[in-house]
A and B are shown apart, each in its own frame.
Chain A
Amino acid sequence: MDAEAARAAPAARWERVGLTEDEYRRLVDLLGREPNDLELEMVGVMWSEHCSYKSSKVHLRRLPSEGPQVLMGPGENAGVLDLGDGTAVALRCESHNHPSAVEPVQGAATGVGGILRDIFTVGARPIALLDSLRFGPPERERNRYLLGGVVSGIAGYGNPVGVPTVGGEVYFEDCYADNPLVNVMAVGVLPRDRIVRGRAEGVGNPVFVVGARTGRDGIHGASLLASREFDQQAEDLRPEVQVGDPFLEKLLIEACLELTAGDAVVGVNDLGAAGLTSACSETASRAGQGIEIDVARVPRREPGMTPDEVMLSESQERMLIIARAGREDEVRRVFTRWGLEAAEIGRVTGDGMFRVRDGDRVVAELPARILTEQAPVYRRPAAPPADLEERWRLPRLEEPGPGDTAHWTAALERLLGSPNLCSRRWIWQQYDYQVRTNTVVVPGADAAVLRVPGSRKGIALAVDGNGRLAWLDPDRGARLIVAEAARNVACTGARPLGLTNCLNFASPERPETMWAFSAVIDGMAEAARALGTPVTGGNVSFYNETMGRGVYPTPVVGMLGVIDDLEKVVTPGFKAEGDALVLLGAPAAGLAGSEYLKVVHGLVRGRPPLVDLDLERRLIDLLVEAAAAGLLRSAHDLSDGGAAVALAEACFAAEPGAAGAEVALPEAGSAAEVLFGEGPSRVLVSTAPGDLQRLLDLAGRLAVPAAVIGAAGGGRLRIRIGGALAVDAEVQRLHRPWSEAMARWMA
């Protein structure tokens, strides 16, 4: 061996598993020796960004995660919130971005499968799925291919598994062309005193792997696919994407919930990223115990698999179950009844070691904590982007006055048919959003509303994550996103209770990314605290970039609200002709980061506003109180597209005969700002004329501005600004571009 080869040889050792030289040295120090190949593989995957959160950990600690309603916070498989009547709700959101970019159908499908396992792992029956998706512009065929594939993957897994997909959001921006985002949120329900933890408690207790057999699929998914930016070889990673089996998952859900309803089990963990390596080391480490397993006892799909392959496989639909000693037969009986395998592969030990045997031979032996708590933690360099102030500069726009009806009506039509504002029906019609018959408010509203089995209460769910705002100002953007999610939930009459998140960013090795990440955490923390919605956990996805081009910082928030009386649920559409229309909250909004600027002027510019969290909170209180008092016939958040688009959408969702609106908007800025300005704390509500005064009194008492702007009905949308008629069109005519756009591209 020559000198050069000798220098290269050891380097290959850590690089092969995705570690740096420093990280390798750290491992040798912790271990007191060189790791063998399997140990190095295990550490490599567990110290990957995806599994260790090594770049995000120091920041995530700043998020508020406590409150009387939080039964289980971050660090477990899912967050759990208390509905207050003995029922609890589990929630979690996770990304499956890179797998979906490489293979959209299976990437998205296994994203659904993975997040569902997080929910039933804690003993909760999954009752809802939501998706937050990002793609490049639909004009490009590849982006349409990705959208079509992701939607059919979600449908192809969610529908058969029998969990309704009740809501979500999708945005199209150039920055997501090479890195689509696929975030899936799942929600489950359980009795509040039956939470199952992912802990390997009780020395001597048996450890089972149940469900699917272990195959050679997905090896290195976490370390190579999820923890690196893409390059031109991304396509070659397609074999790393696993294939999901929703039928198996359905059986696994039933079997696991049947088992955890009794007391034979002490801990459960799903096998996701890093498979057995992660599930065993995390359960042992959380319990402060050790664990010993024998890979020879793990059921396999094919003969000849090495211990490395068994330990790193990311085969889907598998779970780790730690049972009480002596109850082994009960575990086997339940799984056999559901036609599933349950193999006893090891025991909980008291020595803190993670010991892997292959029959009689010990093939890996290291402290479980090295893989988990002792993973490196980085405070990476952070610096704002050089062009930040440039992003904030809004050019002067040459535009006609509010009296140019033809101009503004055409602008509204154009916005309604644009990718980010048009109807999403083409997507959600492919999802079974009703199975289990709990869906009270179906997709297309501000938030989905579900009946909660076993409870008299209902829940409202929304996901929001406008990346454009976070790119323009990550701190303010994150505040706006949390506020919008809370407002969406409150528009149904639900009180926001808590949130989960999924933080999608570019490479953490770039200071610009870490600056944005840190600012997003600060903004999210501030808003979550002010609105009383603790962060119950979530997911961080870095390396969403291809050849140096990153996605917008995209923090997605999944908000859960609780509603006491489902009879009082409020929806966005107008209900009756003549109902009074009231604009609640902030009277004015600007064009920074707006759809109008993007669609009409091709600009992503301006500094987003700093949300007045105190006003936002009062507005939410108002919505909740007014809904409970039966004062709201409809409520719809003014968000993307501003007041004009919100009015149009409320017309599209109207009851027969109630479509149309004759309104005069307050003259607070230019015509474009009044019609299409986007800002927080603004909601369009309708109320029966007889209830109007009571609503205004309530708004006054809560110090929320309220402007009566007109009345519903008439079949036309007519918007005046200071006496000038800015928009005048048949609702039918506006409806066409909005309802047909997506189906047309996807045809």
Chain B
Amino acid sequence: MTAPAAHARFRFAVIVFPGSNCDVDAHRALGEVLGQDVEYVRHDAGDLDGYDAVILPGGFSYGDALRAGAIAALSPVMAAVERFASAGGPVLGICNGFQILCEAGLLPGALHRNRDLKFRCHDVFVRVEAGRTPFTWGIEPGTVLRMPIAHGEGCYTAPPEVLEELERRGQVVFRYVDAAGRRGGDANPNGSAHDIAGICNEAGNVVGLMPHPERCVERLIGGEDGRRVLGAAVRWLAARRELVTGGR
């Protein structure tokens, strides 16, 4: 693959549901820090035409009424997200965005309350397990990233056969580990099955994760490992464009 197009610019949509509160963080990370074109798209928007990638940010959409993500999954914009995803467009759900993707059926499984029933805000280590998604593109599997979590309902759960299938098809994208990359001990902060921190759909273009890459894109604030996740999407989009245009 050619060197990542450092100056490649793409159009990112950050979806804003009532109660989203990490929308500004995703906007800042992609826009100010990574130099991409970013726009907020409201929950009642009907289409996502013209965007290269879609971010479902963290927060408490609809105040977590019913279940986290349950109401947002029914928003008009989610039909557009579904069309965007089925056309192969990269979609990233962070924290509440991950919950919404699961509720909307774009990703399998569900996120239950944390094992200790408490909201937890601290840094975790995750190991990149699958490098084929747009958001891990070019990151060597086995790479350990440090990112913050901030959630009360991040315990990933799915029926045993679904978990098995996720593993078999390489849909587990991030797994909680310790700093040295080992599973077990206190590494898993919320009791997630198989230490799952993030997964993708079968095609690999829709990714959801509980940690917040958009909160760690600057040395001064939270470190820079999240830049690799968001930056991967830029490289992936650049590579796709190259493929389509033949490098012209």
Residues of A whose CB lies within 8 Å of any CB of B are 152, 155, 159-162, 245-248, 250-251, 338-339, 428-440, 451, 566-567
Contact = CB atoms under 8 A, between A and B. Distances in A.
A440 B121 contact: no
Contacts of A247: 18-19, 60, 62-65
Contacts of A430: 118-121
A435 B120 contact: no
Contacts of A162: 21-22, 59-60
6 contacts: A160-B19, A160-B21, A436-B21, A437-B214, A437-B218, A437-B221
B220 interface: yes
B23 to A, nearest CB: 9
Contact of B121 (A160, A432, A436, A451): A432
A246 B214 contact: no
Interface string B184-221: 00000000000000000000000000001011001011
Interface in B60-80: 60, 62-65
B61 to A, nearest CB: 9
B21, B29, B58 — most chain A CB neighbours (10 Å): B21
A338 to B, nearest CB: 7
Contacts of B215: 434, 437
Contact of B220 (A246, A248, A436, A451): A451
A423 to B, nearest CB: 13
B52 interface: no
B25 interface: yes
A437 B28 CA distance: 9
Interface in B20-39: 21-22, 24-25, 28-29
Contacts of B122: 429
Contact of B21 (A161, A338, A438): A161
B18 A251 contact: yes
Contacts of A339: 18
Given A162-B59, A251-B19, A438-B221, 14 more contacts: A159-B60, A160-B60, A160-B64, A250-B21, A250-B63, A338-B18, A429-B122, A432-B119, A432-B150, A433-B121, A434-B222, A435-B21, A435-B22, A436-B25
Contacts of A152: 118
B108 interface: no
B63 A436 contact: no
A159 B58 CA distance: 11
A432 B21 CA distance: 11
B150 A160 contact: no
Q: Which 6 A-B pairs have the closest CB atoms?
A: A247-B63, A162-B21, A160-B60, A432-B150, A437-B25, A430-B119
A338 B58 CA distance: 18
B131 interface: no
Nearest to A245: B63
Contacts of B64: 160, 247
Interface string B124-155: 00000000000000000000000010101000
B20 to A, nearest CB: 8
Contacts of B28: 437
B21 A155 contact: no
Nearest to A432: B150
A247 B58 CA distance: 14
Contacts of B214: 437
Contacts of B148: 434
Given A160-B19, A245-B63, A339-B18, A431 B121 contact: yes
Nearest to A160: B60
Interface of B: 18-19, 21-22, 24-25, 28-29, 58-60, 62-65, 118-122, 148, 150, 152, 212, 214-215, 218, 220-222
B62 A434 contact: no
- Secondary structure of the B contact surface, majority rule: mixed
Contacts of A566: 220
A160 B62 CA distance: 10
A437 B120 CA distance: 17
Nearest to B63: A247
B172 to A, nearest CB: 26
A431, A432, A439 — most chain B CB neighbours (10 Å): A432
A152 B116 CA distance: 13
Contacts of A451: 220-221
A629 to B, nearest CB: 19
Contacts of A567: 220
Contacts of A338: 18
Nearest to B28: A437
A451 B22 CA distance: 16
A51 to B, nearest CB: 30
Contacts of B221: 434, 437-440, 451
A159 B150 contact: yes
B69 to A, nearest CB: 13
Given A161-B21, A436-B24, A246 B63 contact: yes
B144 to A, nearest CB: 16
Contacts of B119: 155, 159, 430-432
Contacts of A433: 121
Contacts of B58: 435
Nearest to A165: B121
B118, B120, B121, B122 — most chain A CB neighbours (10 Å): B121
A159, A245, A428 — most chain B CB neighbours (10 Å): A159
A434 B222 CA distance: 9
Contacts of A251: 18-19
A451 B222 CA distance: 12
Nearest to B118: A430
Nearest to B60: A160
Contacts of B121: 428-434
B28, B62, B65, B221 — most chain A CB neighbours (10 Å): B221
A434 B151 CA distance: 12
A686 B99 CA distance: 45
A510 B238 CA distance: 74
B43 to A, nearest CB: 10
A152 B120 CA distance: 11
A723 to B, nearest CB: 41
Given A429-B120, A434-B215, A435-B150, A160 B63 contact: yes
Contacts of B150: 159, 432, 434-435
Nearest to B152: A159
Contacts of A250: 18-19, 21, 60, 63
Contacts of B63: 160, 245-248, 250
B99 to A, nearest CB: 13
A533 B22 CA distance: 34
Contacts of A437: 24-25, 28-29, 214-215, 218, 221-222
A444 to B, nearest CB: 11
B111 to A, nearest CB: 16
A433 B18 CA distance: 21
A338 B62 CA distance: 12
Contacts of A159: 60, 119, 150, 152
Contacts of A435: 21-22, 25, 58, 150
Contacts of B25: 435-437
A155 B117 CA distance: 13
Nearest to B26: A437
A327 to B, nearest CB: 24
A160, A161, A250, A566 — most chain B CB neighbours (10 Å): A160
Contacts of A439: 221
Contacts of B212: 434
B10 to A, nearest CB: 21
A291 B18 CA distance: 34
B66 to A, nearest CB: 12
A437 B148 CA distance: 11
B197 to A, nearest CB: 17
B44 to A, nearest CB: 10
A519 B223 CA distance: 46
A411 B178 CA distance: 34
A333 B58 CA distance: 27
A435 B215 CA distance: 8
Nearest to A428: B121
A451 B58 CA distance: 21
